[in-house]
Chains A and B, each alone.
Chain A
Amino acid sequence: MLTYALRRILGMVPTLLLISVVCFVVIRLQPGSFIDQYLEDPRVTRETVELVTRQLGLDQPAYVQYLTWIKGIVTEGDFGYSFVNGRPVSSLIWERLGWTVFLAVLTLLVSWAIAIPLGIYTALNRYGPGATILNFFGYVSLATPDFLVALLLIALVLNFGGTNVGGLFSPQFIDAPWSLAKFLDLLNHLWIPMIAIGLEGVAGLMRQMRASMLDVINQDYVRTARAKGLAANRVLWRHAVRNAVNPLISLAGLSLPSLISGTIIASIVLNLPTIGPFLYDSLLNKDQYVAMTLLLFSALLLLVGNLLADLALAWADPRIRFE
């Protein structure tokens, strides 16, 4: 198992390199460059434009730019400079990472905590009215785009005279030190993004869990366990649920990169200080090293997520062996 994990980690290196090349090519495919915005400004001369181009190394051929960047990462751990902010990429990402991770992990936890029990419930009571109603709401939330849900929620809050319409805090708490009032204010703002972003995940997970659960319940070993006279609860949790969760573990591994690129539009509508809109801006501004670093980071998260999912799968399901 350890050697397997090591082999996989080593295998990531060429994959990451390949992905970084693809990302670089794709970013360069878009017309124009970071410099273009300078052309439009009446105060900037052509001379300056050329100078800036040279300063940023944009006069070099694309492959040289790429290799210089990769070399910086490998030799000095330097992810390059942001054209836009004039600061190292890593410090810019670092100061935005906190809230991003907080929101992503919280959303993930909330959606799993709600979805798994609901999935089990709807599987066990398939034809009950409760399950039908839950299914109905699950599907409706799937069918509405998250940013529309966000917009509707904000409109609703506004109509009731509320002020918690976006962001994580009321303006006066943003730069205030932590206090109980600030924490309560956070909770008061947090429920909107949880509903808007988390709901879609809940519906999807609930569906998967239900299907998986139904598969497992009728498997022979579950029936055997039941026939053996094990307590119904024990059968349910030790045998059925544990096996039914397996397919969802693969999904969880895939959801790690959404930390960065997921829900960009909803984050913009809800004004959340996450890294998604930052990535979007860097792509539009062609701030190439910021965009590249974020995309590479997202790819790395995916690979790590995949590996963790595979390892967790092996742990949860001893029938899977790695040769």
Chain B
Amino acid sequence: MTARPAPSPAAPLLAALTVSLALCAPAHAQANQSRANVPPSLFQTVGKKGGTLTLSIVSSPQSFNYFAVLDNNTYTVMNNVLDRLITLDPLTNRLYPALAESWTFSPDGRSATLKLRRGVKWSDGQNFNADDVIFTLVDVASNTGLRANQSAVFKIGKDPLTFRKVDAYTVRVTAPKPYGAMLQALTFVPILPQHKLAKYQPLRDPDGFMKAWATNAPLSEIVGTGPFMLGSYTVDQKVSLVRNPNSWRRDPRGTQLPYMDRLEYLIIKSPDAQIAAFRAGQLDSAPITGAQFPDLKRQELAGAKFRVIRGIGLNNPPVHWAFNQDSRDANLKKAFSDLRFREAMQLAVNRERIIDTVYNGLASLPGHGVAPISEWYTNTRSYLRSYNLGQAGVRLDGLGYRDTNRDGIRNFPGGGPNVEFNILHAADNTIMPGIAVILQSDLGRLGIKVNLQGITGSTVLPTALAGNFESVLSTFGDQPDPQLRKDIWQPGGALHYWRRSLQPAQEGGTPNLAAMTPAERRIHDIFAQAEALGNQAQRKRLYTEWQWLFARNLPVILIAKPDSVAAFHDRLGNFYVRDNRVISSNYSVFEK
């Protein structure tokens, strides 16, 4: 370690090397030049070992059992302890080997054979092999008795995938029909140790299994293959992890990862307290938003010991504005179901001002159902239209929404009541109330009265899903593969809440196809077809058509997609921006 040359002259060379790797190496073949077995894009430079990385989570983890709870804090902590078969390269968002070293996809698109990495050990010294994978996929992840099971991604329509052990280091996944998102689905599942958890018999006693690895369980029982393992947990204050001595990850020089000896998560609920802890040097990195960016950036320029960076993310949830097309109010139902009315509404959305005012300029125009940096994206920007109140007014006049009783507010056609509706939104964040106030003001100038209905953020979606709204500002995160957002965008899907009348009469039934507009019917069919295709080019063609239909038919009006912003302490290496992506990982950052 001491004999190593200074990192600075080596850095450009290394950067060139990793770029060429990213370009030419197919994901399943390991390049021989570098000894790294993790995405090369994680390394801006080769790091050195030692130090403690301190991050934050917003609440105590609900459990350490990944499949017992839906809890981001649990996931954040356990993602350092457990590994997936396949991960995504943070630069390209393409598949990258993890516990599966390589894979082949059969030409008919129905099965994949995965070769597991040999020599991987659990943190308690036991060997990792195909039995762990089969136990996790069959007994746990597809086990519908578990609360946070992932059977949804392991099904095509109603038919489940099957998993089979070929030998101790080979696993085969088979689908009844071609399934294009099969490998993507595997990136969700962390592999659990069979030797620790099989005794809870998850298939026979799901309740008992979900009580395993609770937050008061002995931490030595909780083992993984990941870079870290649990060290200690102080309720509501801190979760500490320590280096896993058996970690299989290597950097480009072959040094064992992680670089950091310890990883600590302070439990800090309020964003303000997180920023305070970050500025006081207690946190190495803090999650920030566009609202906080200018203040912190200014301090960075004034010599503070941290850096603030921005990039474009894939998952960052874009905000959409949805109208209840099954509104109980007949007039509103008619207006909201009319594409021309929604087009007029879109003309009244001042995206430029919203991005400038609400996001401090740190957001960009959204895609339709697909993130603009995704490989599935097609440029539908022209259909976002530009802000034009005058033209919106002309359109409304043409549709008969005129101010017939001369009180300054338009009336529904034929001398109906005033055009007035609510916008439901989360009241307890910085973004939604801002967008709502701007929409209210612009629609007011257009002669439409808007009432703001701000409620606690966590109740917005339940209220919308229950059909208890007139219009709503909400968000759904984007995913790498459109198949994974089918429930939202496919008419009749469980989360397609602005058209509840299309949802099947009973759960799992066929949606109400007869009530669909031609465009909705086509979108429904596109999702059904693409799901059962193994050919990625054909899937891409279908999803491209869907995005155009989305952009033209405005099931919802997309407003803006926030940028990724991050703040981190100066002493961290390998925390950087490349090609507009904010890149870092807990095992590749190091203390300079």
Smallest CB-CB separation from A47: which chain B residue? B144
- CB neighbours (8 Å) of A168 from chain B are 237
Contact B148 A44 (CB under 8 A): yes
Partner of A40, one of B207, B277, B461: B461
Task: Give the docked Cα–Cα distance between A278 and B234 (Å).
Answer: 15
Partner of A51, one of B144, B150, B276: B144
- Interface residue B12 (Cβ < 8 Å from any Cβ of A): no
Smallest CB-CB separation from A265: which chain B residue? B270
Task: Give the docked Cα–Cα distance between A99 and B210 (Å).
Answer: 29
Contact B215 A162 (CB under 8 A): no
Task: Give the docked Cα–Cα distance between A31 and B472 (Å).
Answer: 15
- Interface residue B553 (Cβ < 8 Å from any Cβ of A): no
Smallest CB-CB separation from B61: which chain A residue? A85
- CB neighbours (8 Å) of B62 from chain A are 84-86
Least Cβ distance of B219 to chain A in Å? 12
Among A36, A44, A157, A269: residue with most chain B CB under 10 A: A44
Contact B149 A48 (CB under 8 A): yes
- Interface residue A41 (Cβ < 8 Å from any Cβ of B): yes
Among A36, A42, A277: residue with most chain B CB under 10 A: A42
Task: Give the docked Cα–Cα distance between A96 and B211 (Å).
Answer: 20
- Interface residue B174 (Cβ < 8 Å from any Cβ of A): no
Task: Give the docked Cα–Cα distance between A45 and B151 (Å).
Answer: 7
- CB neighbours (8 Å) of A46 from chain B are 494, 507-508
Decide yes or no: A175 and B234 within 8 Å by CB, A30-B459, A158-B276 being known contacts.
yes
Smallest CB-CB separation from A283: which chain B residue? B456
- CB neighbours (8 Å) of A271 from chain B are 267-270, 273, 277
Least Cβ distance of B354 to chain A in Å? 24
Task: Give the docked Cα–Cα distance between A241 and B69 (Å).
Answer: 56
- Interface residue A169 (Cβ < 8 Å from any Cβ of B): yes
Contact B458 A285 (CB under 8 A): yes
- Interface residue B487 (Cβ < 8 Å from any Cβ of A): yes
Contact B216 A91 (CB under 8 A): yes
- Chain B interface bracket (under 10, 10 to 19, 20 to 34, 35 or more): 35 or more
Task: Give the docked Cα–Cα distance between A273 and B269 (Å).
Answer: 10
- CB neighbours (8 Å) of A163 from chain B are 280-282
- Interface residue B167 (Cβ < 8 Å from any Cβ of A): no
- Interface residue B155 (Cβ < 8 Å from any Cβ of A): yes
- Residues 176 to 221 of chain B near chain A (Cβ within 8 Å): 188, 207, 210-211, 214-216
- Interface residue B236 (Cβ < 8 Å from any Cβ of A): yes
- Interface residue A27 (Cβ < 8 Å from any Cβ of B): no
Contact B462 A33 (CB under 8 A): yes
- Interface residue A73 (Cβ < 8 Å from any Cβ of B): no
Smallest CB-CB separation from A84: which chain B residue? B62
Contact A86 B54 (CB under 8 A): no
Partner of A32, one of B65, B232, B466: B466
Smallest CB-CB separation from B457: which chain A residue? A284
Contact A96 B508 (CB under 8 A): no
Task: Give the docked Cα–Cα distance between A162 and B151 (Å).
Answer: 49
Task: Give the docked Cα–Cα distance between A277 and B240 (Å).
Answer: 22
- Interface residue B266 (Cβ < 8 Å from any Cβ of A): yes
- Interface residue A233 (Cβ < 8 Å from any Cβ of B): no
Contact B273 A270 (CB under 8 A): yes
Least Cβ distance of A55 to chain B in Å? 7
- Interface residue B592 (Cβ < 8 Å from any Cβ of A): no
Smallest CB-CB separation from A38: which chain B residue? B70
Smallest CB-CB separation from A277: which chain B residue? B269
- Interface residue B484 (Cβ < 8 Å from any Cβ of A): yes
- CB neighbours (8 Å) of B409 from chain A are none
Smallest CB-CB separation from B236: which chain A residue? A273
Contact B459 A31 (CB under 8 A): yes
Contact A84 B150 (CB under 8 A): no
- Interface residue A128 (Cβ < 8 Å from any Cβ of B): no
Least Cβ distance of A101 to chain B in Å? 14
- Interface residue A43 (Cβ < 8 Å from any Cβ of B): yes
- Residues 253 to 293 of chain A near chain B (Cβ within 8 Å): 268-271, 273, 277-278, 281, 284-285
Contact B268 A166 (CB under 8 A): yes
Task: Give the docked Cα–Cα distance between A99 and B463 (Å).
Answer: 36
Smallest CB-CB separation from B487: which chain A residue? A42
Least Cβ distance of A284 to chain B in Å? 5
- Interface residue B63 (Cβ < 8 Å from any Cβ of A): yes
- Interface residue A154 (Cβ < 8 Å from any Cβ of B): yes
- CB neighbours (8 Å) of A298 from chain B are none
- Residues 92 to 148 of chain A near chain B (Cβ within 8 Å): 95-96, 99
Contact B188 A268 (CB under 8 A): no
Decide yes or no: A162 and B280 within 8 Å by CB, A31-B468, A86-B214, A268-B273 being known contacts.
yes
Contact B238 A43 (CB under 8 A): no
- Residues 61 to 76 of chain B near chain A (Cβ within 8 Å): 62-63, 65, 68-71
Least Cβ distance of A301 to chain B in Å? 20
Contact A48 B232 (CB under 8 A): no
Instruction: Fill in one digit per residue for B475-509: 1 if any A CB lies within 8 Å of its CB, else 0.
Output: 01001000011110000001100000000000110
Task: Give the docked Cα–Cα distance between A31 and B494 (Å).
Answer: 18
Least Cβ distance of B68 to chain A in Å? 6
- CB neighbours (8 Å) of A157 from chain B are 280
Least Cβ distance of A197 to chain B in Å? 15
Task: Give the docked Cα–Cα distance between A170 and B54 (Å).
Answer: 12
- Interface residue A61 (Cβ < 8 Å from any Cβ of B): no
Decide yes or no: A95 and B235 within 8 Å by CB, A39-B465, A42-B485, A269-B273 being known contacts.
yes
- Interface residue B561 (Cβ < 8 Å from any Cβ of A): no
Contact A273 B273 (CB under 8 A): no
- CB neighbours (8 Å) of B468 from chain A are 31
Contact B272 A151 (CB under 8 A): yes
Task: Give the docked Cα–Cα distance between A31 and B146 (Å).
Answer: 25
Instruction: Fill in one digit per residue for A1-42: 1 if any B CB lies within 8 Å of its CB, else 0.
Output: 000000000000000000000000000001111001111111
Among B71, B207, B215, B458: residue with most chain A CB under 10 A: B458
Least Cβ distance of B384 to chain A in Å? 25
- Interface residue A78 (Cβ < 8 Å from any Cβ of B): no
- CB neighbours (8 Å) of B282 from chain A are 163, 165, 170-171
- CB neighbours (8 Å) of A154 from chain B are 272-273, 276
Contact B240 A175 (CB under 8 A): yes
Contact B215 A85 (CB under 8 A): yes
Least Cβ distance of A263 to chain B in Å? 13
- Interface residue A242 (Cβ < 8 Å from any Cβ of B): no
- Interface residue A317 (Cβ < 8 Å from any Cβ of B): no
- CB neighbours (8 Å) of B234 from chain A are 174-175
Decide yes or no: A36 and B279 within 8 Å by CB, A166-B273, A271-B273, A281-B59 being known contacts.
no
Least Cβ distance of B388 to chain A in Å? 34
Least Cβ distance of B122 to chain A in Å? 24
- Interface residue A71 (Cβ < 8 Å from any Cβ of B): no
- CB neighbours (8 Å) of B68 from chain A are 86
- Interface residue B147 (Cβ < 8 Å from any Cβ of A): yes
Smallest CB-CB separation from B507: which chain A residue? A46
Smallest CB-CB separation from B266: which chain A residue? A171
Least Cβ distance of B465 to chain A in Å? 6
Task: Give the docked Cα–Cα distance between A53 and B377 (Å).
Answer: 37
- CB neighbours (8 Å) of B476 from chain A are 40
Decide yes or no: A85 and B465 within 8 Å by CB, A46-B494, A166-B268, A175-B240 being known contacts.
no
Among B147, B153, B268: residue with most chain A CB under 10 A: B147
Selected A-B contacts with CB under 8 Å, 17 pairs: A31-B462, A31-B466, A32-B465, A37-B458, A39-B494, A42-B486, A43-B148, A48-B149, A52-B147, A86-B69, A86-B210, A154-B272, A163-B281, A166-B273, A167-B268, A174-B238, A285-B458
Footprint of A on B, CB under 8 Å? 54, 59, 62-63, 65, 68-71, 144-153, 155, 188, 207, 210-211, 214-216, 232, 234-238, 240, 264, 266-270, 272-273, 276-277, 279-282, 456, 458-459, 461-463, 465-466, 468, 476, 479, 484-487, 494-495, 507-508
